Amino acid sequence: MSDFTQKLHNLMQQASISSFKALSRQAGVSEYQVLRLRQGKLEQMRLDILLKLSKALQIPLSELLSAFLESDIEHSPVPNPQEIADLKKEYERSQLQLEQQREILQQQFQQSSLQLLEPLLLQWPTAAQKARENPELAAVKIVPLVEKPLEKLLQVWGIEAIAPVGSQIPYDPQLHQLKAGTAQPGETVKVTHIGYVQGERLLYRATVSLVERS
Strands in 188-193's sheet, in edge-to-edge order, are 168-170, 188-193, 206-210, 176-178
Task: Reply yes or no on whether the pLDDT at 57 is more than 80.
Answer: yes
What pairs with residue 111 in β-bridges?
none
The dihedral formed by the CA atoms of 194, 197, 201 and 203, expressed in degrees to the nearest 10: -40
75 pLDDT band (50/70/90 cuts)?
Answer: very low
- Stretch 57-72: mean pLDDT: 77
- Stretch 78-104: mean pLDDT: 77
Range name among 36-50, 69-83, 127-141 with the lowest pLDDT average: 69-83
Task: Reply yes or no on whether the pLDDT at 72 is more than 70.
Answer: no
214 pLDDT band (50/70/90 cuts)?
Answer: low
Tell me the percentage of the chain whose pLDDT exceeds 70: 88
170 pLDDT band (50/70/90 cuts)?
Answer: very high
213 pLDDT band (50/70/90 cuts)?
Answer: low
